[in-house]
Structure formats: structure tokens, C-alpha cells
Amino acid sequence: MFGAKTGRGLVALMFVASIAASACGGSSGGDKVIKIGGLATLSGPFAVPGQDGFRGVEQALAKYGKKLASGNWQMDGYQIQLIKEGSDATPAVALEKAKKLIEQDNVDILIGPLSGDEGLAVKDYAKTVPDKTFVNGSSAAQDTTFRDAAPNFFRFSTDGAQWMAGLGKYAFTTKGYKNVAIVAEDYSFPYTQVGGFMYEFCAAGGHVVQKNWVPLGTKDYSSVVSNLPTSGVDAIYVALGGSDAVNFFTQYNQAGGKAKFIGGSITVDQSVLSVTGSFKDQLAGTIAAGPTADSATNQEWLDYVKAYKAQFTDGLPFPGLFALSYYNETIGVLEGLKAVKGDLSNKEAAFMAALAKVSFDGPTGHVSLDANRQAISSNYVTEVQKGADGNLQNVVISKADNVDQTLGLGATSPFLAQPVSRDFPSCP
Amino acid sequence: MPKALVDFLTVLLNGVTLAALYFVVASGFTLIFGLMRTTNMAHGSLYMLGAYAGVSAYTATGNWLIALVAGFAVVVVVGVVIHLGLLSRMAGQDLRQALVTIGLSIIIADLLLAKYGGLTFQIEPPSVATGSVAIPFVVNGTYSAYRLFMIAVAAAVYGGLWLVLNRTRIGWYIRAGIDDRDMLSALGVNVSRVFLFVFALGAGLAGLSGVIGTTALSISPGEDGRYLLSSLVVVIVGGMGSLGGAVIGALIIGLSEQIGLFYAPTYSIFITFVIMAAVLAVRPQGLLGRPA
């Protein structure tokens, strides 16, 4: 141990060193620096998705620019500095971190957050800072853009209802599921997913006989499993994410349950499929829908996966839905910045106008924005199958392009008359 | 049997098996508090450390029992280090010890995040407790064997602790220490060594329960806070420092969680805290606790 005097000397030395370091950092390169705040969940049930979301941001930055020694990315005529913040999937913490990024770190553009209720909270906050640009991360609640939209909030990823496009019809018509029970977490994102599934499934003539809304973060699902009907349902629609999905499937398996599954978009995401456990045998044959499909074969997707694997040796076997969403959002931002040559003057007005017009061909299909600054893009219906290497993966059944936020029903459809909720839509 | 009754009995069994897990987690917590008056805020992190140690041991050997022993042993060693290195230097300063353990809990949780990442891990149940068992009065007529096994584990932990506390010399010291530390010390007992034993044992139980919980559910970052909270609620309801209180507290919390989840899912978390507030209002020392 060193004495008090040496200790103080050391602190002073470190202080001087840190000033020197920051001075050097500031003087490298003459370009102006645009600050982008990244917000994703790094603790709680969505920690893995959050890490993958940030990989998406970094992959997009690496595609458009070059990483400098200072950690910034060099673009054409300007630099981008990425400041990351982690939340825990609760709206309160997401809001606090968004405020920290905007007010303390003075970021020009915020990319995030990750989950549904967080997105609603950040959208409301966006209205109070109209001169900053907010771009979604992967949060997918319908009303982040559909009702009461914020003019400075942009979403280049599709929402949780769009992610269900094609699934309800496929479950009813091809799989022949007539009666379905639902297990989903009790917040805005699963409402949106269940709603999107039911738009098609109910319209086709199917029945949702039971809905179990469980509190987010429930770990012990044994009583939910007990509550599921043992006869009279053809399949169970499960919209749980991360470790919660793992727990549910394990307990359903341990309780001897035999029903087929229909998955939400994050239920059979890679972050769940890459866990080891005997529950996984039961997941084969699960149908689901979402904006990504591991086994897609279009060139943009193959290039994207190749770049992901090259850049992140510690990444997931395939970039998940969260990586893709954050990637597309960041591509949107970088395209917008390119259009205005990094000009964020006049309260970012020119940038926001350019951003609303951005459209590009992403890894899974064409992305463009509607009048609410919400993405219109592609969606897959998938089925979980065991790959040649033994890993479970999603195999593409069908793909729909240019899916809008109403799933083609039109904004005046009775299914869109109310916001999705625990009780709406309903077809018992 | 009418369906409503079968449902209810199933939920009761779910509650009791969850209570078994909660009891094993909280037993170490209440043991440490009872003697040392230290609220060990790192208890949840020690649970997580045991769980991950068990995962590593299970991955290497494929043997559940080895995983269980590894989870216990690793955390006992860490517990000894924490006690000798930190807590024994501030003996008798309960508040400082609590603050130090909060710091430790953050450090341990972050180190585990760095080593194991954010992925979810599971341990497969031992072969005696895989699959399901036929029970006539539950839904479907079958019930998870491992969850029944957890009741046996909880009973074994209770029995073992009861024997240690009531039938061994160190148990005499511990019980005497709970009543009057100073007098015990004056009688020539090396109190600090008794403290070390209790802290290591309590920590080891946290590690052991980590392996048990990871087998029943799973382990991922953030579980530390959940189990620290459940332990706090269990011992606050049951009475700090009382083993029987921990049993009753765990049963009340486990049952209320599962009954709430079945009959009123939206309010299931709320119900737990209403019970805690009600107990604190009527009996601030907990159901079986003694007034401080």
C-alpha cells in the first residue's frame, strides 16, 4: 500500500495525464463532430437484444465511415461520435437516459430505445425538444408513430403489428389452427404483436379463446402454464422475449405440455434459439413472423450477415431482429446526413426534411417512410427448423414487401378503430 | 373433481414449490442477519455467482450434483474472503457493512456480466428429477418432478440448519450470539470465528440456491436484484433472523405470487408488497421475529 502523500501525487499525475489526453483527442482532425446518442437496454430481460442492437448501430457506421483512433467515425466532411447509454427496458430509465444524452451529452441525434413502452415515453419526450432528431431503435409499439405522432420522431423499422404480417392467414389457412390461446407480456409491444396477429387471424375466421397477460419480468410461469386450456385449442401464441421465453418454454415442457406454438417476433429470435436447454426440441415447427429471417438468400441479406460476422466475432450466430432494426435506423440517419452533407443548422430542419424522404434497400427489402415518418417495409413468415449444423433457425415460408402500418387494412378498418390493448381486438 | 378445485390445488402446489426456492435463497440471508445484524445486500449477487459457477461446472461435467457442490463451494470461498477482507474490519458497524455489501453486489454482478455476457443459461435437472410425475389432483394429472424435488431440497436445508443450530456446539454459540454477542465473547468464545462460519455458510446457501434456481428457471443478468428483493420480503414478513419465520415468509410470498398470477395477473406483484406492508404495520418485527 502506498501512503497518503504518494497517493495524492499519483492522483495529480493522473489528472494532468487526462487533461493531456483530452487535449490531444480534441485536436485530431479538423472536421466538425456530430454526436449521436445510442440508447438500448443493457440490463434486465433484454440485455442480449440490447447488445445486439448496438452491434447494428456500429455495423452501419462502419459501412459508411472509418473508425478513427479517437473512437469517432470519419464520414465525408464530418465525424460522428457515438455515445452509448443502457437502460433496463423500463420507460422511466429510458426517459432518464434519453434526457441525459440530449441535455448533458448534447447529442444531435438520438437512436433508440429498444422496447415498446420505452419508445412511447421517448416519443412524448421528443415533443418537448423539437430541435433534436429522434430516430427509433427497435421499439415497436403501434402508437409510437400511428396515433399522436411526434414531428421529430422517425422510425425506419416496422412496428410489432407489421412484424405479424402474413402470420394470421398462414396459421388459419395453411396450418389449420382455428382456436388459439395467447400468452403475452402485459405492455404495449405484445399488445401490438397480438393485435397484428389477430387482425389477420380474426378476419380469416379464427378464434382467440383465451388471453393470458403476464407481468413483464415474471420468472415463474407455472401457474400460467396451469391456466392454459388442455383441449379445444390448436396452438398457443407466445409473445415473450429473452429469458422470459426461455423460462416459459422450459416450464411448459417440464409440465408435460404438448401444444404447438405460434411465436411473436422476439419469441424465436436468435437470442432465445441460441440458449442451450432441452425445451428447444419442442420449438421445432413453431411458426412466427418478423422482419428478419436467418435463411433468407437475397444478396443484400447475405452481404449484411457476412459483414456482421466479420465485424463481431463475439456476436450471435445470426444478427437478430434488434441488430437489424438498429442497423436500418442508423442507415436511415446516415443517408439523411449524407443528403444534407452533415448540416444540422437551423434546428436540424433541413436534416429532418431530408430524413423524411430517405428510402433505401436494406438487408431484408426496401425501406421508405409514410406520412407519419413510419417505415413501410418487408416482412417474413418463418418456421423454426433444425439446420444442418444442429442449430435451430428460422426458415422462410413467405415474404411480403411494402407492408404498411395497417397491414393493408387501411386506416379506417374497424380493427384499427381503437389502439391495441388487452381486450382489443377480440374474437373469442 | 371440479376444474376450479383442480386449478386451485395446482396453483397451491406451484406456490409451495416456488416458496421452497425462496426459502433456500432466504435462509442464508436470515442466518447472517440473525447473528451479525448485517443486512447482506450482496446476497443476490452471491446467488448469481453460485448460479454461474454451477453453469460452468455443469457445462464441464454434465453432472448436476457437481454443479450444486461447485455453486456452494465457490461462494463459500468468496464469502470467507469477503468476511476476512472487508466485513471483519468493520465488526459491529452494521450500516457500514450493509453499504460495503451493496458495493460488492454491483462489482460481482458486473464481473459476471463481463465473463458470461447477457445470455440466458440453464442447468438440466438431475436424472432423479427429470420429466413429470403423475399426481391425480393437478391440471393434466402430471406435475414437474424437479419442482417437487425442490421441496425435498428445501426440507433438507431446513433440517440441516435446524440440526446445526440446535444440536451442535457451534449452533449453541450462534444462538447465544443472537441473544447477546458481548456476553458470549466475555465467556471466552471466539466470536469473530463464529461470525466467519455463519457468513460463509449463509453465502454458500446463496450459491447453492443459485444452482437450484437456475435448474428450475434460468439465470441471466438482473436476477441478483430479484432474489435479493425476494429474500428481503421473505425475511421481513417472516421475521429477521428466524429460520421458521423464513419458512412462513417464503410460503406466504410464493403462494401469493402464484395465486395472484393465476387469478389477477395484473396485480400479482402488487399483492406481494401489500402483504409486506400489512405485516409491517401490524407486526413490525415480522411474524416470528422478536422485537429489536
Q: Are strands B132-134 and B142-144 parallel, antiparallel or unpaired?
A: antiparallel
CATH code, A240:
3.40.50.2300
Distance set, CA A47 to CA A42, A136, A150 (Å): 4, 18, 27
Residue A289 maps to a domain? yes
A251 close contact with B: CB closer than 8 A? yes
CB-CB neighbors (< 8 A) of A220 in chain B: 14, 18, 216-217, 257-258, 261
Q: Determine the pLDDT at residue A366.
A: 96
- Given the C-alpha cell 437475397, which residue does it identify? A298
Domain span at A118? 32-159+297-378
**Domain identity same for A222 and A280:** yes
Q: Determine the pLDDT at residue A287.
A: 95
Q: Name every residue in B having a CB less than 8 A away from some CB of A.
A: 7, 10-11, 14-15, 17-18, 113, 117-122, 124, 131-132, 138-140, 142-147, 216-218, 220-222, 226, 257-259, 261-262, 265-266, 268-269
**Domain identity same for A213 and A247:** yes
The residue ranges of DSSP E strands in A141-256, in sequence order, are: 153-154, 179-185, 207-214, 235-239
Task: Give the closest-approach CA distance of B100 to chain A in angstroms.
Answer: 20
Residue A389 CA from chain centroid, whole number: 27
Q: Determine the pLDDT at residue B292.
A: 57
Question: Would you say A150 and A123 are in contact if contact means Cβ atoms under 8 Å apart?
Answer: yes
- A216 or A240, higher pLDDT: A240
In A255-320, alpha helices (H): 270-273, 299-311
**Pick from B146, B217, B266: which is nearest to A186 by CB?**
B266
DSSP 8-state class, residue A366: E
Average pLDDT over residues A308-325: 91
- Given the C-alpha cell 409451495, which residue does it identify? B16
Lookup: cell for B94: 452494521
A226 close contact with B: CB closer than 8 A? yes
Q: Which residue of A has its CA nearest to B146?
A: A254
Would the CB atoms of A247 and B258 count as touching at under 8 Å? no
**Domain identity same for A274 and A199:** yes
Q: Determine the pLDDT at residue B265.
A: 85
**Domain identity same for A172 and A232:** yes
Question: Would you say A170 and A235 are in contact if contact means Cβ atoms under 8 Å apart?
Answer: no
Residue B128 φ then ψ, to 5°: -70, -15
Least confident span in A8-12, A60-64, A101-105, B77-81? A8-12
Task: Give the closest-approach CA distance of A45 to chain B in angstroms.
Answer: 7
**Pick from B7, B140, B147: which is nearest to A222 by CB?**
B147
Least confident span in A255-269, A294-308, A360-374? A255-269
**Pick from A214, A224, A246: which is nearest to B218 by CB?**
A246
- Distance, in Å, from the CA atom of A337 to the CA atom of A348, rounded to the nearest integer, reads 10
Residue A110 maps to a domain? yes
Q: Determine the pLDDT at residue B1.
A: 76
DSSP 8-state class, residue B188: T
Q: Which residue of A has its CA nearest to B116?
A: A48
Mean pLDDT of chain B: 91
**Domain identity same for A71 and A171:** no
What 3-state DSSP class applies to A65?
Answer: coil
Q: Determine the pLDDT at residue A30.
A: 66
Distance set, CA A16 to CA A27, A53, A70 (Å): 17, 36, 19
State pLDDT tens for residues A155-191: 999 999 999 999 999 999 999 999 999 999 988 889 9
**Domain identity same for A261 and A384:** yes
- A321 or A303, higher pLDDT: A303
Average pLDDT over residues B16-21: 96
Q: Determine the pLDDT at residue A31.
A: 84
Question: Would you say A285 and A171 are in contact if contact means Cβ atoms under 8 Å apart?
Answer: no
CB-CB neighbors (< 8 A) of A42 in chain B: 118
Is a pLDDT exceeding 50 seen at residue A7?
no
**Domain identity same for A247 and A98:** no
A224 close contact with B: CB closer than 8 A? yes
**Domain identity same for A152 and A166:** no
Buried-state track B200-235, b at ≥16 Cβ within 10 A, e below 16: bbbbbbbbbbbbbbbbbbbbbbbbbbbbbebbbbbb
Residues 6 or more apart from B144 whose CB is under 8 A from it? A222, A251, A254, A255, A256, B132, B133
Least confident span in A46-50, A129-133, A423-427, B59-63? A46-50
Average pLDDT over residues B133-146: 86
Least confident span in A5-9, B69-73, B114-118, B243-247? A5-9
Average pLDDT over residues B271-284: 90
Nearest to B271 by CA among B283, B257, B285: B257
Residue A402 maps to a domain? yes
Is a pLDDT exceeding 90 seen at residue B137?
no
- Distance, in Å, from the CA atom of A334 to the CA atom of A80, rounded to the nearest integer, reads 10
Band of the pLDDT at A5, cuts 50, 70, 90? Answer: very low
Residues 6 or more apart from B213 whose CB is under 8 A from it? B21, B25, B47, B51, B219, B223, B227
Task: Give the closest-approach CA distance of B160 to chain A in angstroms.
Answer: 27
**Domain identity same for A236 and A205:** yes
Would the CB atoms of B265 and A213 count as touching at under 8 Å? yes
- Distance, in Å, from the CA atom of A39 to the CA atom of A110, rounded to the nearest integer, reads 7
Average pLDDT over residues A241-253: 86
**Domain identity same for A275 and A394:** yes
The percentage of residues in chain A with a pLDDT greater than 90, rounded to a whole number, is 66
Nearest to A324 by CA among A337, A299, A297, A305: A305
Residue A390 maps to a domain? yes
The percentage of residues in chain A with a pLDDT greater than 70, rounded to a whole number, is 93
Q: Determine the pLDDT at residue A381.
A: 95
Is a pLDDT exceeding 70 seen at residue A8?
no
CB-CB neighbors (< 8 A) of B17 in chain A: 222
Least confident span in A270-284, B24-38, B114-128, B160-174? A270-284
**Domain identity same for A226 and A247:** yes
Is a pLDDT exceeding 90 seen at residue A352?
yes
- For chain A, the domain total comes to 2
Question: Would you say B170 and B232 are in contact if contact means Cβ atoms under 8 Å apart?
Answer: no
- Distance, in Å, from the CA atom of B88 to the CA atom of B280, rounded to the nearest integer, reads 31
Band of the pLDDT at A19, cuts 50, 70, 90? Answer: very low
Lookup: cell for A379: 416482412
CB-CB neighbors (< 8 A) of B51 in chain A: none
Residue A74 maps to a domain? yes
Residue A228 maps to a domain? yes
Residue A232 φ then ψ, to 5°: 90, -5
Would the CB atoms of B132 and A243 count as touching at under 8 Å? no
CB-CB neighbors (< 8 A) of A217 in chain B: 226
Residue A201 maps to a domain? yes
Residue A144 maps to a domain? yes
The percentage of residues in chain B with a pLDDT greater than 90, rounded to a whole number, is 61
- Distance, in Å, from the CA atom of A145 to the CA atom of A119, rounded to the nearest integer, reads 10
Would the CB atoms of B120 and A186 count as touching at under 8 Å? no
State pLDDT tens for residues B232-253: 999 999 988 889 999 999 999 9
Band of the pLDDT at A3, cuts 50, 70, 90? Answer: very low
Band of the pLDDT at A100, cuts 50, 70, 90? Answer: very high
**Domain identity same for A338 and A321:** yes
Q: Which residue of B has its CA nearest to A219?
A: B217
- Distance, in Å, from the CA atom of A304 to the CA atom of A326, rounded to the nearest integer, reads 13
Is a pLDDT exceeding 60 seen at residue A20?
no
State pLDDT tens for residues B201-210: 999 999 999 9
Cβ contacts below 8 Å, chain A against chain B, sum to 123
Would the CB atoms of A88 and B222 count as touching at under 8 Å? yes
Per the DSSP assignment, residues forming a β-bridge with A179 are: A207
- Distance, in Å, from the CA atom of B37 to the CA atom of A345, rounded to the nearest integer, reads 60
Is a pLDDT exceeding 50 seen at residue A25?
no
- Distance, in Å, from the CA atom of A257 to the CA atom of A50, rounded to the nearest integer, reads 31
A286 close contact with B: CB closer than 8 A? no
Is a pLDDT exceeding 70 seen at residue B123?
yes
Would the CB atoms of B258 and A218 count as touching at under 8 Å? no
Residue A271 burial by Cβ neighbours in a 10 Å radius (0-12, 13-18, 19+): buried
What 3-state DSSP class applies to A136?
Answer: coil
Mean pLDDT of chain A: 89
Would the CB atoms of A275 and B265 count as touching at under 8 Å? no
Would the CB atoms of B261 and A218 count as touching at under 8 Å? yes
- Distance, in Å, from the CA atom of A192 to the CA atom of A344, rounded to the nearest integer, reads 34
Identity of the amino acid at B259: I
CB-CB neighbors (< 8 A) of A272 in chain B: 120
Would the CB atoms of B217 and A45 count as touching at under 8 Å? no
Distance set, CA B135 to CA A5, A40, A222, A237, B101 (Å): 71, 45, 15, 27, 43
- Distance, in Å, from the CA atom of B257 to the CA atom of B270, rounded to the nearest integer, reads 9
In this predicted complex, what is the ipTM?
0.84
